[in-house]
Structures are given as C-alpha cells and as structure tokens.
Amino acid sequence: MSSIPKISTQDIRHWVDGQSFQRGQQYFRDGAVLDHRRRGMKLKALCEGSLPSPYRVEADFDSQGITAAHCSCPVGASGRCKHVAALLLAWEHYPEEFTELQDIDASLERRSKAELIALVKQILRQEPELETLLETPLPVKGKRRTPMDPETYRRQAAAAFRLNGYEWGAQSDTAQRLEAIAAIGDGFAEQHDYGSAASVYGAISEVVLEHYESSLDEDGELAAVIDASASGLGRCLAGEKTDAATRQSILRAMFAIYSFDVDSGGIGLGEDVPEQILELASPEERRMVASWTREALPKADGKDHDWQRRAYGAFWLELERDSLDDQAFLRISRETGRVEDVVDRLLGLGRLDEAVQEARGVRDYEMIRLADLFVRHRRGTLADGLMRERSETSQDVRVLDWLKEYYKGRGQETPALELAEKAFRMRPGLKGYKDLRQLAQKLGLWGPLREALIAFLKETDHTDTLTRVYLDEGEIDHALESIKAKRVSGHGYSYGYPGYGLGLEVAKAAEATRPNRAREIYSQYSEGFISYRGRGNYKEACKLLKKVQALYERLGEKEAWAAYIGSLREKNRTLRALQEELARAGLL
C-alpha cells in the first residue's frame, strides 16, 4: 500500500481557497475525477473541466500531508484550483479507487527488450508527437558523450509550443514539456557532461525567448523555465574548466538571456546572469563578453533607448572595471548615458568644474541624485548652488524639497521655511503644511503664515487639502463646512462629496461633537452606493447604515431610525439583492 497519509476535509480547505473548495466539491460529486493513480508519494488523475480534453492533476505528499500540487488548467500552476480540490476529495473519500503503480524504474527493468520496444511503439501510437524523442540523445550512466547537437533539443522545445499553441493557459502545458526536456540536461550535468547539458539548456532558452513575446505568460511559468535554464548554464560554466569552445558557447547562451531581458525593458528574466558571468568568467572571457555588450548597445538615434544603454553600460563597466583607466571609464560612462558614474569619478579625481558641467545637463530627477552624490563627496556648497540654479526653472517640487531638507540639516531654518512655502504653493498637501507649521513655529512666524496659507487654499480651490488641514488641527466645524462647500457629481463611492475616504474621515471626526452631521454624511454615502446598484455596492451601503443606526440609537431616536430604514427599504423595494443584504446585516 502507498504511504500517502489520510487527509481530512479541513486539510483540503486549508490547501485551496474557499471558492475552489466549493467548486471542487461539485466536480467530485459529478464524478469528474477519472483515471485515479498513485505512485509513491504522488497522486495523479484526470479531471473533466470546461475544455473538451480533461485536465491533468497531481498532488505530492510527505508523511505530514500535502506538499505540492499542479493542474494543467489555466490557473493550476499554484496547485490550488478546483480540479486539485476534486482530486484531494476523491483521495479522502475513495482511496481504494486509486490504482497503485510500481516505481517507474522498477517497472521498466522487469520488462524484456522486446517488451520495451513494444511499449515504446504503443506510446507513440497514442502520442505520435513524441516520435522525435527517438532521435534525442539521453544521458546514460557510465557513458560520457561529446557535446550534443543543440538542434535536436531546439526541435523538441519548438514542438512544445507548436503542440500547445499560444492561447491563454497553454503556457502551463508548454512549460511542463520544456521542463521534461530540461531534465535531460540535468542528467547530463549530473554525469559532468557539461557540454551536452549546456546544449540542452541553451536550446530551451533560445526557443523560449523566440516565442516569449507571443506567449501569455501571466503566471510566469515560461519565465521560470528561462531562469532554470540560466541557472543550469551557470552550473555548466562553473563545472567546465578546460574546454574553451564549450565555455564560450555557454557564455553566449547566458548573454542571450541577459540581452533579451535588457532589450525588453528589464522584465526580470535571468536576473542572476550578470552576477554569474562576473563571478565565473576568466579575465579574457569577461573582455569577450564586454565586446558583445558593446555590440548590443542600442544606437544613439534619438529614440528612447536611455534605460537600455545605461543597463548595458553598467554591465560593461563591471566586466572591464579592473582594466579601465580613468579616461576609458569616463568615455564608456558618457557613451552609455551613465552621468552619475561620470560625476562620481570626476569628483573623486577633484575635477570639480567638469563635474558641475556634467550635472547641469541632466533632468530634474537625475539632478537630485547627483546632488546627493556631491554631498557624499563633501561638496555640499556645489550641490547647493546646482539645486538653487535648477529651482529657478524647475517645476519639480522635489528640487525644492531637497534644498529645504539640506538647509534644515544645517540648522538654517529661515531659508528652509522660504523653500517649504514655495514647495507648498507649488503642490499643496497636508505633509507640506505640517512641515511649514513646524518650521514657522520654531521661528515664531506661524500665526500670520497660517492665515495666508488658509486663504491660499480657499482661493485656489484646494478643498481636499484644506479639509485635511482642518481635521489635523481639530477644527471639525470648518472641516464640515469645507466638504459641504464643494459637492461634486461622481460615480459609485464618490457620490456626494469630493472624496469618499475624506468624507468618511470627516464624519468619523464629527461623531463625538456633531453626531447629526456625521449621520447625514453616512446616510448620503450609503444612498449613493445604493443608487449605483450591485451587490458589492449594497454591502458597502450596509456598512455605512450600521453607523447611521448606531448614531440614531445613541441620540435616543430609535423610532426615527425605524422610519428612515423603512423609507429606504420602500424606496428601493424592487432591489431584491439590496433587501437581502439589509436582512443579512440585521438592519431590517
């Protein structure tokens, strides 16, 4: 008998979410789980679903319970779908229906050569697309081969995409087929046949990259195949010490993964590749990879390739860091748009005028980083001058914020206050207001400045910020008047006031001293939710109506509450879903 442990309904509920469990129960009751099998600590089955062909489902166990699961359905990569739930329910209730299969190795070893040939032929009759496996070199114990022709494995990988197509959910089956091919590479690597292993990993990654943009890899299953191939190539590079040609082909395959990711905007494929190359490549090989990097640089043709050029530039500098003199370093940094590296090196060399000139040519957000760099090099005066100069023309409030913090850090409150006020008027907000208040109070200037700021917020119609200021200072009546002064026509939860969340903040603050106004706000929001229909809106309305009910009862107006909720119910008597939500919330 299998040593798979018994499981309970609670175990299954814990493994899948509530919705998947409920749907899985229905699949189980409908007899959708077919071809039950168990081998060692794994359960397998087919589960009929929405497609003509059933999904392949499996679950792994240890002595404590479920450890992993997988389904070939579009959402089955996590192993927590309704089909997995159905499989687990079948094991819980009818474990005797699972046919116990012998270990694969043992099952194959007991068959004669003639039987094995017949078995292979039978498999090919049922799965004719597997015929190409007959020409696939496989790792055999005790037999080391010369590096295999990667074309064989490229055909295998291409077939995985051809057979499964590119529809949503197909990538799961494709990834499984690719992982099976990668297992061949793992077998070669275990025998220290790194050339053959690299041929497998390189072929897989090449084919996946060719198809990646046309595949809907929302769950990252194909990305995981690329990452696994990159890791395998890294292991081969570490293991293959002597064959220069093999090492070069490995580096080429790794660089192809890296450059695809960079050219795609940095989507996270093979993120460890640059570090692996820097660690494992010889100095001569690093120079070779640097030449590939130079060739891969997008041309400076006026198109937006800035990020790619900087990314390649960073790698290029790392590859040749030990052999670059200052002039070469600066040339490469300038060529790839890495102004921060240029300025850093110039400051380190004491070439201050050049550093300032380089900094003047950057965008505002880059200038802020460069200003920090000047400060780290103890050139704060130069940073101050650059940022002051930029603040005269920039509309980026972060430039002013940097200067303000710079002066605050040096105890210069007066210029910091001037900058804080300028930044606040450029982009009003509660944080800026509180910062201004702290600085002005320290200088004894808060009274007149506050009046000027409140007037500014009213004149410029910054109602949200004005309301938040009133709340922060405990002026509840002013906050209530502020939101009342500016009603807007909105959609859904924006109904009635210029901000649902802000309106609720005001209502909550008003509950203690202005309960009638708080009740009014909650009522208007709840009625707004109801007017836009839908069970989700009704649930939100009920949450607010509970607050309305509590305020009526606190004021001793239970009869008024009954009249209000009765009127609301009558007004919306045709909305059955609303009536159900009201009853569920105990409001009727």
Give the position of tokens 């130079």.
294
Q: What is the dihedral of CA 140, 145, 151, 156, to 10 degrees?
A: 10
> pLDDT at residue 497 above 50?
no
Question: What φ, ψ does residue 45 adopt, rounded to 5°?
Answer: -165, 175
CA distance 470 to 448: 17
Q: Which long-range CB contacts under 8 A does 114-121 form with residues at least 24 apart?
A: none
**Of 80, 72, 70, 85, whose CA–CA distance to 24 is shortest?**
85
Continuous segment of H or E residues that includes residue 100:
strand 99-100
Give the position of tokens 């071809």.
35
The larger pLDDT score, comparing residue 411 to residue 152, is at 411
> pLDDT at residue 533 above 70?
yes
Give the position of tokens 């084919």.
207
| pLDDT score for 457 | 93
| pLDDT score for 469 | 94
CA distance 543 to 176: 46
Pairing of strands 42-47, 65-71: unpaired
Question: What φ, ψ does residue 501 adopt, rounded to 5°?
Answer: -60, -45
- Tens of pLDDT, residues 16-72: 988 889 999 999 998 999 988 888 889 999 998 876 778 889 999 998 899 999 887
**Of 99, 19, 44, whose CA–CA distance to 27 is shortest?**
19
The answer for residues whose C-beta is within 8 angstroms of residue 389's C-beta and 6 or more apart is: 360
| pLDDT score for 128 | 65
- Tens of pLDDT, residues 345-396: 999 999 999 999 999 999 998 999 999 999 999 999 999 999 999 999 888 9
| pLDDT score for 24 | 92
Q: Which of 2-16, 51-65, 178-192, 492-506 has the lowest mean pLDDT?
A: 492-506
- The upper half-sphere exposure of residue 31, i.e. CA atoms within 13 Å in the direction of its Cβ, equals 0
Number of residues in the chain: 588
- Tens of pLDDT, residues 118-148: 766 665 565 666 556 556 666 666 555 555 6
pLDDT grade for 442, boundaries at 50, 70 and 90: very high
Q: How many CB atoms lie within 10 A of CB 387?
A: 23
User: What is the average pLDDT across 75-92?
Assistant: 88
CB 581 within 8 A of CB 565: no
| pLDDT score for 273 | 95
